[in-house]
Structure 1
Amino acid sequence: MMRYILITLLVAFSAGAAVIESLVRHYSFLVVLKNETKICGSKFITTVNRKFPGPTLYAREDDTVIVRVTNRANHNLTIHWHGVRQLRSGWADGPAYITQCPIQPGQNYVYNFTLHGQRGTLFWHAHISWIRATVHGAIVILPKLGVPYPFTNPDKEKIIILGEWWKGDVEDMVQKSLVSGLPPTVSDVHTINGHPGPVHGCATNGGFTLHVESGKTYLLRIINAALNEDFFFKIAGHRFSIVEVDASYTKPFETETIFISPGQTTNALLTADKPVGKYLITASPFMDAPVPIDNLTATAFLRYKGTPKNPTIVLTQVPAQNSTLLTDRFIDSLRSLNSEEYPAKVPQFIDHTLFFTIGVGINPCETCVNGVRIVAAVNNVTFLMPEIALLQSHYYKIRGVFTEDFPGNPPFVFDYTGKPPANIQTTNGTKVYRLRYNSNVQLVIQDTAVIAPESHPIHLHGFNVFVVGKGSGNFDPIEDPKGFNLVDPVERNTFGVPNGGWTAIRFKADNPGVWFLHCHLEVHTTWGLKMAFLVENGEGPNESLPPPPRDLPRC
């Protein structure tokens, strides 16, 4: 049996007695297919360094991170460093056929990027097809040495990763879905740090337990690594103080329930101030649309030091699956810290005003079961993945890979949240939208009722965005901007567009390259709910995309 060995190196450079805070962090990722872990009937899963979830990357603000990825799986693979801004390091961003061609079986690729001005919790995951179901892990970015958190210093920190599990092979399932034109099957269970809790037919190995000591405060770094599920996260009898989302500090607020969408991270302070005992932890799904989901609740336990061997478990009530008011309350409570040290640099003047509609449609399909295939689109364009990475074709000026005619507004206007148009067919294309370097962008994304309205977590690569407004119904370009928050809106890399509503964001296009925008529900991304921005070079080398590394994979 082949042995897989991981050596994680933490290399610090110093000169004499001086302490240099900016370090180079070296990691080795070995992606393997055959993992002996058997959960819920699965025989083999794809993992990194034989771990599920995968290893955690630790770094500090402004560190340079170098990760060598060796692909020993039997399929192509890339790794995306979700939420890392990748300032002028787009070659390391990771989405397949957007910034790089995949790492083929038996090949290596070195990801090299610097964490410019970032600190907090992010995560990494595979970014090709549905492999990220098991190929994902946490990124912990600590503040610079000597710089405190802008909140109560915790006694300890814990990582909690929420996910989904399929008993069968997810790649096989997706391929069958694409051939048949039918939706893929929903997951079999949800997981907390790789464990579903006591579910019939699933080996839990005791499940996950969060061990705490009375009187101590814990910083929980919570990550939603699920493919298609929003979650409510609760711990019986305890409250959280929210201090950060998507590696951006927030004004603290207290809550009993955390709402977190796929691709989002939340840092919460938890004080162990309850009687010694065992408390139920739950991760339950949210869905306020008539869409099939895995409705099982993942469970774990918080256990105080000194708790008797077989204590009575303190239970909690799981929120209703369609608790839209609860999600709105949580989202509306989020505000940027906007302090002198951590200001909210919201663009005040806009150069590009964009309006995107998102939703699903139906296109003809000769090979499909019903003669049609469910698709998804942005401004009625279903994105077709190219055969050469967009960033490579842009840098080398390879023609015929993409066009620059992505519409900045819907090609036709209708009642987006009312009666859908008679023709729900979309157009197909590999289109990008060009942005001037350093221009300020305002983008409103509108959910549509074509087939069915649904909430969408939208992720923009290469940037953080300010969520300046959201609302229900159709966006009113005259009245709704009057209510925009341009002072302390929450700063995120993944933001929600509500069911039958809209969300407005602003960002500065200060990162040259090609940057993916897509729904972080993997089913919608697979169906084509994605597009890309092409940000032009500025003036001089410090504002331009550098050449690609020599080991960049070839298509």
Structure 2
Amino acid sequence: MAQIIWSRAAVFVLFILPVLVDARVRHYKFNVVATNVTKLCSTKPIVTVNGQFPGPTLYAREGDTVLVKVVNHVKYNVTIHWHGVRQLRTGWNDGPAYITQCPIQPRQSFVYNFTLTGQRGTLLWHAHILWLRATVHGAIVILPKLGVPYPFPKPDKEEVVVLSEWWKSDVEAMVDQSTKVGLPPNVSDSHTINGHTGPLASCPSLQGGADGYRLQVDSGKTYLLRIINAALNEDLFVKVAGHQLTVVEVDAVYTKPFKTDTILIAPGQTTNALLTTDKRAGTYLITISPFMDVPIPVDNRTTTATLHYNNSLAATALTTTKPPAQNATSIATSYLDSLRSLNSKEYPALVPKTVDHSLFFTIGVGVNPCPSCLNGSRVVGVINNISFVMPTVALLQAHYYNISGIYTADFPGKPIFAYNYSGPGPKNLQTMNGTRLYRLPYNSSVQIILQDTGVISPESHPIHLHGFNFFAVGKGLGNYNPASDPANFNLIDPVERNTMSIPTGGWTAIRFKADNPGVWFLHCHFEVHTTWGLKMAFIVENGKGPDESILPPPRDLPKC
């Protein structure tokens, strides 16, 4: 069970209204509660959904239509993003503030309405404005249609495991201060597992034990762990002492099963893994630790939980495990190389074999002058040397109603300036600012080369594309070579995801079919980089007829 955190600022009422599934009505009702009790080593109020941290799990089946009424009771503007949900023709319900909707203002509400078409597995929901997703997040569990089995042995039990970060200070105040200074904000004070903090020196009562997350299991059973990385800024390693994990799904897409003792999961990603309790009775350590293979500050604490066999003696010794080193690139690479789409008859990998739009995006951070900043400069995030400027009117609204002056559809399909991308880069490469989008015809096939850059430092950026899944058909270190690298692309069973990390100092090639009309965000899922402007958006035009066109906006769509 997730630890429940009550707060004076418990955010909004979240209701899932009844939906009809296979002639059955499913009722969901999430109520708002508020009190001043907390167990997170702090008396400050936190923003939550229904007073829970992490928030409530949304359960549905493939094919369900889901309605979620969000009522905002806090001082901040709010939106909710249903991360990984395709939102076919329903982009108004995707959730990123000022991209597909204006935010829900204090004391206002909005009903999200979307259908889970052709998807099953684990996803997540989270706030998509400011840094509110630090505490406003939760799981989405999409079960297969009734009578449709998993393509792997049926587990005896399922467990949602949400990983996150925790700051003892007020997150929004911290970000505001860092913006004024022009430097990155502080790293988190702890990672969390289902709302339980890790070892904090100033919180001796939170060193584990009764306050730590404990997974109770029976011997001889198989458990499906639905693992979600809801952290803001850190890739995480997951290990269970003495046990192997069999990965069967990532980002709500089935994979070819493979065994591993270490899972790597980036912010925004989900992983389903089978755990078989075939060890002797006892207690086994679960470790959550960061992965960062360049000298960039991260929360380097290892958070722990325990897997406890029922009927074990209280005095049974704890079986421990050593987490990977923070810079364990070889472990990360081996894990990522093992991921393949299931590509079965029932679940084929429909990889685009030809490409209509071939794009090359350089991804990274830079430094711009900032006279108002205390340091005289500030760090910015860039794609193709452009730092994205958030509009004041939602881009989807501007596109749908042909409102001029909000954006330009001239985002460059390749870098404006050529240089040694994986090297140190030019020291005087100042970025440009703009709200520039790239236009795609309906049903066109798209390839994007995501090239990491080293202007300040190379880094593994987790890139998330809204509205689509994509296939990661290739990756490599150094600069992408268009003459030789495509020959090594996997067009048979590449992993299919909605969020994918670029290798540090390298590149990743992704392909997708632009079969979902609307305006769709692409951004780094490190919140600090998104804040700095490492983001852009696509316009996907309507196709022929109403079935290939975006639906009209909801009547209660928030206004800016």
Alignment TM class, shorter chain as reference? over 0.9
Q: Partner residue of 1:11?
A: 18
Preserved CA contact (<8 Å) 1:23 1:63: no
Q: SS state of the match for residue 171, structure 1? A: helix
Q: How many residues align?
A: 549
**Residues 186 and 230 (structure 1), Cα distance of their counterparts in 2 relative to 1, 3 Å cut:** same
Q: Partner residue of 2:390?
A: 385
Q: Which of 442, 448, 455 lines up with 1:443 in the alignment?
A: 448
What is the deviation of 1:424?
Answer: 2.5
Preserved CA contact (<8 Å) 1:215 1:272: yes
Normalised by the length of structure 1, the TM-score is 0.96
Q: Partner residue of 1:271?
A: 276
Is 2:484 the counterpart of 1:479? yes
Q: SS state of the match for residue 307, structure 1? A: coil
Preserved CA contact (<8 Å) 1:31 1:70: no
Normalised by the length of structure 2, the TM-score is 0.95
Q: Partner residue of 1:50?
A: 51
Q: Name the amino acid aligned to 2:143.
A: L
Is 2:284 the counterpart of 1:283? no
Give the whole-Å Cα distance in 2 for the aligned partners of 1:519 and 1:379: 14
1:346-495 maps to which residues of 2 (within 5 A)?
346-495=351-500
Q: SS state of the match for residue 303, structure 1? A: strand
What is the deviation of 1:110?
Answer: 0.2
Preserved CA contact (<8 Å) 1:384 1:429: yes
Give the whole-Å Cα distance in 2 for the aligned partners of 1:34 and 1:298: 27
In structure 2, stretches of 5+ residues that fail to align are 1-7
Q: Partner residue of 1:169?
A: 170
Give the whole-Å Cα distance in 2 for the aligned partners of 1:287 and 1:281: 20
What is the deviation of 1:310?
Answer: 3.0
**Residues 8 and 305 (structure 1), Cα distance of their counterparts in 2 relative to 1, 3 Å cut:** farther
Give the whole-Å Cα distance in 2 for the aligned partners of 1:541 and 1:374: 44
Q: Which of 302, 306, 310 lines up with 1:301 in the alignment?
A: 306
Residue by residue over 1:149-192, the C-alpha shift from the partner in whole angstroms, topping out at 9 and shown as x without a partner, is: 00010000001011000000100111111111111110001111
Preserved CA contact (<8 Å) 1:383 1:529: yes
Q: Partner residue of 2:190?
A: 189
Q: Name the amino acid aligned to 1:465.
A: F
Is 2:262 the counterpart of 1:261? no
Q: Name the amino acid aligned to 2:271.
A: T
Q: Name the amino acid aligned to 1:149.
A: Y
310-319 vs 52-61, which moves further: 310-319
Preserved CA contact (<8 Å) 1:353 1:443: yes
Give the whole-Å Cα distance in 1 for the aligned partners of 2:161 and 2:524: 23
Preserved CA contact (<8 Å) 1:88 1:546: yes
What is the deviation of 1:361?
Answer: 0.8
Preserved CA contact (<8 Å) 1:33 1:74: no
Residue by residue over 1:304-345, the C-alpha shift from the partner in whole angstroms, topping out at 9 and shown as x without a partner, is: 010112321100011010001101100010000000000000
1:34-45 maps to which residues of 2 (within 5 A)?
36-45=37-46
Is 2:504 the counterpart of 1:499? yes
Q: SS state of the match for residue 233, structure 1? A: strand
Q: SS state of the match for residue 197, structure 2? A: coil
Q: Partner residue of 2:240?
A: 235
Preserved CA contact (<8 Å) 1:35 1:50: no
Preserved CA contact (<8 Å) 1:24 1:66: no
**Residues 403 and 542 (structure 1), Cα distance of their counterparts in 2 relative to 1, 3 Å cut:** same
Preserved CA contact (<8 Å) 1:32 1:46: no
Residue by residue over 1:247-288, the C-alpha shift from the partner in whole angstroms, topping out at 9 and shown as x without a partner, is: 000000000000000000000000000000000000000000
Q: Name the amino acid aligned to 1:210.
A: L
Give the whole-Å Cα distance in 2 for the aligned partners of 1:443 and 1:538: 22
Is 2:92 the counterpart of 1:87? no
**Residues 290 and 76 (structure 1), Cα distance of their counterparts in 2 relative to 1, 3 Å cut:** same
Preserved CA contact (<8 Å) 1:38 1:44: no
Q: Partner residue of 2:142?
A: 141
What is the deviation of 1:45?
Answer: 0.5
1:67-86 maps to which residues of 2 (within 5 A)?
67-86=68-87
Q: SS state of the match for residue 196, structure 2? A: coil
Give the whole-Å Cα distance in 2 for the aligned partners of 1:454 and 1:266: 22
Give the whole-Å Cα distance in 1 for the aligned partners of 2:86 and 2:11: 31
Preserved CA contact (<8 Å) 2:410 2:437: yes
Give the whole-Å Cα distance in 1 for the aligned partners of 2:161 and 2:362: 33
What is the deviation of 1:43?
Answer: 1.5
22-31 vs 213-222, which moves further: 22-31
Is 2:179 the counterpart of 1:178? yes
Q: Partner residue of 2:153?
A: 152
Q: SS state of the match for residue 504, structure 1? A: strand
What is the deviation of 1:24?
Answer: 6.7
Give the whole-Å Cα distance in 2 for the aligned partners of 1:281 and 1:367: 46
What is the deviation of 1:196?
Answer: 1.9
Q: Name the amino acid aligned to 2:66.
A: V
Q: Name the amino acid aligned to 1:351.
A: D
Give the whole-Å Cα distance in 1 for the aligned partners of 2:405 and 2:25: 39
Preserved CA contact (<8 Å) 1:28 1:69: no
**Residues 113 and 310 (structure 1), Cα distance of their counterparts in 2 relative to 1, 3 Å cut:** same
Residue by residue over 1:471-512, the C-alpha shift from the partner in whole angstroms, topping out at 9 and shown as x without a partner, is: 000000010000000000000000010110000000000000
Give the whole-Å Cα distance in 2 for the aligned partners of 1:540 and 1:179: 49
1:528-543 maps to which residues of 2 (within 5 A)?
528-543=533-548
Give the whole-Å Cα distance in 2 for the aligned partners of 1:25 and 1:169: 37
What is the deviation of 1:23?
Answer: 6.3
Preserved CA contact (<8 Å) 1:32 1:71: no
Q: SS state of the match for residue 176, structure 1? A: helix
Give the whole-Å Cα distance in 2 for the aligned partners of 1:24 and 1:403: 45
Residue by residue over 1:26-53, the C-alpha shift from the partner in whole angstroms, topping out at 9 and shown as x without a partner, is: 6455678876324122511100000000
Give the whole-Å Cα distance in 2 for the aligned partners of 1:22 and 1:157: 25
What is the deviation of 1:418?
Answer: 1.4
Q: Partner residue of 2:514?
A: 509
Residue by residue over 1:324-370, the C-alpha shift from the partner in whole angstroms, topping out at 9 and shown as x without a partner, is: 11011000100000000000000011100000001111111111112
In structure 1, stretches of 5+ residues that fail to align are 14-19
Is 2:217 the counterpart of 1:212? yes
Give the whole-Å Cα distance in 2 for the aligned partners of 1:71 and 1:118: 29
Is 2:537 the counterpart of 1:523? no
Give the whole-Å Cα distance in 2 for the aligned partners of 1:12 and 1:178: 43
Q: Name the amino acid aligned to 2:120.
A: R
Q: Partner residue of 1:17?
A: none
Preserved CA contact (<8 Å) 1:30 1:70: no
